[in-house]
Amino acid sequence: MVKLTGLKKIKTAVFISGTGSNLKNLIKFSKEKNSPISINLIFSNTSKAKGLRFSNQFNIKKYISSFKHPKIAEKKILDLLNKENIKFICLAGFMKILSKKFIKNFKGKIVNMHPSLLPKYKGLDTHTKAIQNKDKVAGCTVHFVTAKLDSGKIILQKKVKILKKDTFTSLAKKVLKQEHKLYPTAIKKIFN
Ligand code: GAR
């Protein structure tokens, strides 16, 4: 894994598709003195992603490319990542699947936040599945990204109790709150 050398922060890109609350949280974390990363690029596969507003707010470069033609999109992103000297990628609510080839270029340097206690509930609708299955706990996982969806080595997990009164919305909110704590902690764990 990449190690912190000297005082230089590791140039990081965050990939999003939506609201970007994890992105905002990671930007705030990156500004802390002891954070190992700096956020230098925001990528989204859609111009509709609300999180893109953090590009202006925090003066961070953004890049948008639809994944209609994934190979072309990935090539453009890789070129940009190389040009910007990006060494680490955080997926934060990024809803597209990256190809084997793309991941190979950033082997061991892409991490993802997933809203379940992996290996349980890979893919979509994790909270709905947890509630439908009457699970007692839900949670979130930060893991390395490999070619197999939501299956890379787990870095950290956090459990959240599911109460009888919980709905999809209340559970998603509780888990998201924990995601915001877990992502920075997991990044510190990787680099320290
Ligand atoms: C988060 O709950 C994240 O775990 C999930 O999307 C949400 C994004 O919220 N990610 C996935 O489902 C990835 N498959 P945000 O845009 O507010 O950070």
Segment 101-141, tens digit of pLDDT: 999 999 999 999 999 999 999 999 999 999 999 999 999 99
Nearest 10 degrees: Cα torsion 64, 65, 67, 68: 130
Strands 37-44 and 61-64: parallel
| Domain-wise residue ranges, the chain | 10-114+141-157+181-191
Q: Quick one: pLDDT at residue 82?
A: 98
pLDDT (average), residues 24-44? 97
Q: What is the distance in A from the centroid of ligand 1 to the CA of 43?
A: 15
Prediction pTM value = 0.96
The third-level CATH classification (topology) of the domain covering 10-114+141-157+181-191 is: Rossmann fold (3.40.50)
- Whether the pLDDT of residue 6 is over 90: the answer is no
Q: Does the C-beta of 150 come closer than 6 Å to ligand 1?
A: no
Q: Does the C-beta of 113 come closer than 6 Å to ligand 1?
A: yes
- Give yes or no for a contact between 107 and 164, defined as CB atoms under 8 angstroms apart: no
Nearest 10 degrees: Cα torsion 142, 184, 178, 149: -20
Q: What is the distance in A from the centroid of ligand 1 to the CA of 138?
A: 14
Provide Rg for the chain, Cα atoms: 16
Q: What is the distance in A from the centroid of ligand 1 to the CA of 85?
A: 26
Is there a catalytic annotation at residue 180?
no
pLDDT tens for each residue of 176-187: 999 999 999 999
CA 50 to ligand 1: nearest atom: 16
